[in-house]
Amino acid sequence: MSDTTLVKAEINYEPNIGDYFALLKPRVMILVVFTALVGIIAAPVDLHPFTIFVSIIFIALGGGASGALNMWYESDLDSLMRRTRNRPIPSGKITSDEAKAFGFALAGISVVMLGLAANWFAALFLLFTIFFYVVIYTMWLKRWTPQNIVIGGAAGAFPPMIGWAVATSGISMESVLMFSLIFLWTPPHFWALALFMRGDYEIARVPMLTVTHGRRSTRNHIFFYTIVLAMFALFTSSTSLGGWVYLLTAIVLNAIFVTMAFKIWVRDEPEAEADNFKVERNFFRYSLMYLFLQFGSILVDLGLGTNFSWGFL
């Protein structure tokens, strides 16, 4: 019997809907749903609103399945880290076996139902995404290399491509561009978190960049990736995804993002520790708003019809 099973038996706790919902990583799911929706709407195919609705539901369930299986496999790490020790499994609310069964059930339901509701290409893409997040990232990269979040970040970048596939049954340059925005955004987003949560990763022996190469190297990487992201975001404005709203939004958002990354880059550790990593925490919070507003501007341009007709991609 596992430790979490023993804890659950001792407190005689019966899991409720809220506990199972927490397994889905709802905050991550919001990002999955939103970017997938942008991918569907941006595609040059008109779908029935009901098809869009049910497709988004099943994509969300697929993202939730990934979260549940991630928590099942990483319950040993979660129990060691302050940020995650209150999750359902380490807190004893749900056993590892229950989480595993729940995750696999959701994965199967989401893939099959997306195939029936939309098309099987999108369903297989969703299955690949779940596999990539659970096996490639969680089981392999997370505990093996400090580049875990760089390569593994692809899993979080696939939803707009899945959304595009729901509408078109394929992949296009536009869907790859949306993927790339999230892919380049992921490393600075998570490395900022790793700066002020380094102690947790050290205790859990997770080879995050802050643990293997130190905070100075991590600050360098954040600044570099943020500049690359800004350049790519501005480049995207010249493609068929771009428009006046996107262009203006990208200029403002990325100017702020690069400025904040520069402040992280020039900081030394005594200064950061003195204010409890305030700059790094602000960068992390801003990065969440950044991605939503960047993708939101694509929707606004589509709604207003202000996309650039001269986009060369």
CA 22 and chain centroid, separation? 16
The confidence score (pLDDT) of residue 306 equals 84
Classify residue 12 by burial, with Cβ atoms within 10 Å: 0-12, 13-18, 19+.
Answer: exposed
Backbone angles phi, psi at 307, to 5 degrees: -65, 145
CA angle 79, 81, 84 (to 5 degrees): 75
State the CB neighbour count (10 A cutoff) for residue 116: 12
DSSP 307: B
Backbone angles phi, psi at 92, to 5 degrees: 85, 10
The confidence score (pLDDT) of residue 1 equals 38
Amino acid found at 175: S
Q: How many CA atoms lie within 13 A of 48 on its CB side?
A: 5
The confidence score (pLDDT) of residue 12 equals 61
Nearest to 31 by CA among 131, 121, 160: 160
Condensed to tens digits (0 to 9), the pLDDT of residues 163-212 reads 999 999 999 999 999 999 999 999 999 999 999 999 999 998 999 999 99
Condensed to tens digits (0 to 9), the pLDDT of residues 69-103 reads 999 999 999 999 998 999 999 999 999 999 999 99
- The reported pTM is 0.92
Residue ranges of the chain whose pLDDT lies below 50: 1-10
31-35's contacts with Cβ under 8 Å and 24+ in sequence apart are: 31/156, 31/159, 31/288, 31/291, 31/292, 32/59, 32/60, 32/63, 32/156, 32/159, 33/59, 33/60, 33/63, 33/159, 34/292, 34/295, 35/159, 35/160, 35/163, 35/178, 35/182, 35/291, 35/295
State the CB neighbour count (10 A cutoff) for residue 312: 7
Q: Taken in order 184, 252, 238, 220, is the CA torsion positive or negative?
A: negative
Widest pairwise Cα distance in the chain: 66
Nearest to 133 by CA among 227, 11, 13, 28: 28
Which of 220-236 are b and which e, b meaning 16 or more Cβ less than 10 Å from the residue's Cβ? ebbbebbbebbebbeeb
Task: Give the C-alpha separation, 175 to 39, whole Å.
Answer: 7
Task: Give the C-alpha separation, 34 to 217, whole Å.
Answer: 32
Task: Give the C-alpha separation, 36 to 167, whole Å.
Answer: 11
